[in-house]
Amino acid sequence: MTTLLGTVVGVDAAAKRVLLEGGDAISYDTLVLATGARHAYFGHDEWEPFAPGLKTLEDATTIRRRILLGFEQAERETDPEKRRALMTLVIIGGGPTGVELAGTIAELAHDTLKGEFRNIDTRDARVVLVEAGERLLPVSSRNSPPTRRMRCNGWA
């Protein structure tokens, strides 16, 4: 197996070659094209400014930045209701990515950032995982409890 970084500009299926930007070509026996993925808002593209997807490194750094900015804003907020809102993170989608993200955010708040602020306790943050289906991680376990009963260390 060989791993290369390049921009594919075409495929010559008859000659079994992948054509790269700059004129290079790579011969192949079997070709698998993984063109990437894009998150979907199910006809509600207006949600995108509030709910970034998680398909690229840039998406991940945007989410991390938003989380940290939320804690920074909560640190300066004196209104308890607004502070609670700033420390509530909602993840839509109880598939593998959503469940992993929820766990990572919980770890960030409970462990990594613990003690880093003077006016807030990041362990008071709430992570809410929303799944429209009947179960979290629906493809991996038919025996998992229904989503309405799923809880993680008291976090909603």
**Given 21, 72, 100, 134, which residue is catalytic?**
100
* Residues 105 and 152: beta-carbon distance below 8 Å: no
Q: Which residues contact 90 (CB under 8 A, 6 or more apart)?
A: 128, 130
Secondary structure tally for the chain: helices H, strands E: 3, 5
Question: Any catalytic annotation for residue 100?
Answer: yes
Other Cβ atoms closer than 10 A to 127: 22
Active site residues: 100
